Structure 1
Amino acid sequence: MAHYASTRKPGNIISAFKANTDESILERYPPLKQELLNANNLKEKLIDSWTRLTKEIENETEEIKRLGPNVIPQVEFSEIAKNGGTFPQDVAKEVKKRGMVVIRNVVSEQEALQYKKDVKEYILNHKGKIAGFPDADPQVWELYWSKSQVAARSHPNFVSVTSAMNSLWHADPETVIDLSMNLTYCDRLRIRKQGDSSFALAEHMDGGSVERWEDPEYRKCFQSILSGEWEKYDPYDATHRVNANMDLYNCSGGCSMFRSFQGWMSLSAVAPGGGTLRVCPIIKLSTAYLILRPLLKDLVETKNMCGALPGAQQHILPEFHQPLIDAVVSIPHVNPGDCVFWHCDGIHAVEECCNSLTDSSVFYIPSTPLCLNNIKYLAKERYAFEEGITPQDFPLNNCEKDFPDRAKPSDLTELGKLGMGFTPLIVDPTVTKELSEGAIKARKEFNKILFPE
Structure 2
Amino acid sequence: MMAASQLKPKGDISSVFSHLGGKETVLDPSFLSLKKEIVPEAEDQVKIDEAYQRLLQSFEKEAAEIKEKGSAIVPQVTFAEIEANQGQFPAHIADEIRKRGCVVIRNVVPEQEARDYKDQVQEYINNHRGQIVGFPANDPQVWEIYWSQSQLAARSHPNFNTATLALNKIWHASDSAAIDLSKNLGYCDRLRIRKPQNKSFALQEHIDSGSVERWLDPEYRKCYTEIFNGNWENHDPFDATHRVEARMDYYNSPGGCSVFRNFQGWLAMAEIKTGGGTLRVCPLLKQSTAYFLMKPLIKEYIDKNDYIGALPGLCQGIGKTDYPQIIDTMVSMPDVGYGDAVFWHCDQVHAVEPKNDSQVDSSVLYIPSVPLCRINSEYILIQREAFEKGLTPPDFPGNHCEERFEDRAKPSTINKMEKLNMGMTTFPSLPTDATSGQKKALENHNKILGFA
Specify the TM-score bucket, using the shorter chain as the normaliser.
Answer: over 0.9
Give per-residue Cα distances to partners, 1:354-391, cap 9 Å, x unaligned: 11121000000000000000000000011111111000
CA contact (8 A) 2:4 2:393 kept: no
Amino acid at match of 2:13: I
Give per-residue Cα distances to partners, 1:9-60, cap 9 Å, x unaligned: 100001122566554x431222111211117952121222111111111111
Hey, what does 2:260 align to over in structure 1?
258
Distance in structure 1 (CA, Å) of the matches to 2:159 and 2:257: 24
Hey, what does 1:392 align to over in structure 2?
394
Which ranges in structure 2 are unaligned for 5 or more consecutive residues? Answer: none
Give per-residue Cα distances to partners, 1:200-222, cap 9 Å, x unaligned: 01100000000000110000000
Report the RMSD for the aligned CA atoms in angstroms: 1.4
Hey, what does 2:446 align to over in structure 1?
447
Determine which of 191, 194, 197 is the counterpart of 2:196.
Answer: 194
Determine which of 80, 83, 88 is the counterpart of 2:82.
Answer: 80
Aligned to 1:278, what secondary structure does the other structure show?
A: strand
Hey, what does 2:294 align to over in structure 1?
292
Moved more, 380-389 or 404-413: 404-413
- Give the C-alpha shift of residue 434 in structure 1: 3.0
- Give the C-alpha shift of residue 109 in structure 1: 1.0
Hey, what does 1:154 align to over in structure 2?
156
Hey, what does 2:310 align to over in structure 1?
308
Answering whether residue 21 of structure 2 is matched by residue 17 of structure 1, we say: no
CA contact (8 A) 1:146 1:407 kept: yes
1:4-403 alignment to 2 at 5 Å? 4-18=4-18, 21=24, 23=26, 25-38=27-40, 42-403=44-405
Q: Aligned residues, how many?
A: 448
CA contact (8 A) 1:384 1:391 kept: yes
Aligned to 2:363, what secondary structure does the other structure show?
A: strand
Moved more, 50-59 or 176-185: 50-59
Identity %: 51
Aligned to 2:46, what secondary structure does the other structure show?
A: coil
Hey, what does 1:432 align to over in structure 2?
431
Distance in structure 2 (CA, Å) of the matches to 1:227 and 1:31: 17
Moved more, 403-412 or 65-74: 403-412
Distance in structure 1 (CA, Å) of the matches to 2:198 and 2:59: 33
Distance in structure 1 (CA, Å) of the matches to 2:3 and 2:239: 34
Amino acid at match of 1:365: I
With normalisation by structure 2, the TM-score equals 0.97
Aligned to 2:126, what secondary structure does the other structure show?
A: helix
Distance in structure 1 (CA, Å) of the matches to 2:133 and 2:227: 41
Aligned to 2:45, what secondary structure does the other structure show?
A: coil
Which ranges in structure 1 are unaligned for 5 or more consecutive residues? Answer: none
Distance in structure 2 (CA, Å) of the matches to 1:61 and 1:237: 26
Amino acid at match of 2:159: N
Distance in structure 1 (CA, Å) of the matches to 2:190 and 2:42: 40
Distance in structure 2 (CA, Å) of the matches to 1:445 and 1:39: 40
- Call closer, same or farther: CA 1:3–1:285 in 2, change over 3 Å: closer
Distance in structure 2 (CA, Å) of the matches to 1:362 and 1:41: 48
- Call closer, same or farther: CA 1:14–1:223 in 2, change over 3 Å: same
CA contact (8 A) 1:425 1:446 kept: no
Amino acid at match of 1:13: I
Distance in structure 2 (CA, Å) of the matches to 1:185 and 1:445: 18
Distance in structure 2 (CA, Å) of the matches to 1:450 and 1:304: 41
CA contact (8 A) 2:25 2:311 kept: no
Amino acid at match of 2:387: F
Aligned to 2:139, what secondary structure does the other structure show?
A: coil
Aligned to 2:37, what secondary structure does the other structure show?
A: helix
Moved more, 79-88 or 10-19: 10-19
With normalisation by structure 1, the TM-score equals 0.97
Distance in structure 2 (CA, Å) of the matches to 1:307 and 1:397: 28
Give per-residue Cα distances to partners, 1:409-453, cap 9 Å, x unaligned: 1222222111111112222xxx42232110111111111111255
CA contact (8 A) 2:11 2:398 kept: yes
Distance in structure 1 (CA, Å) of the matches to 2:311 and 2:243: 20
Aligned to 1:184, what secondary structure does the other structure show?
A: coil
Aligned to 1:281, what secondary structure does the other structure show?
A: coil
CA contact (8 A) 1:154 1:413 kept: no
Aligned to 1:44, what secondary structure does the other structure show?
A: helix
Distance in structure 2 (CA, Å) of the matches to 1:242 and 1:452: 21
Distance in structure 2 (CA, Å) of the matches to 1:22 and 1:281: 30
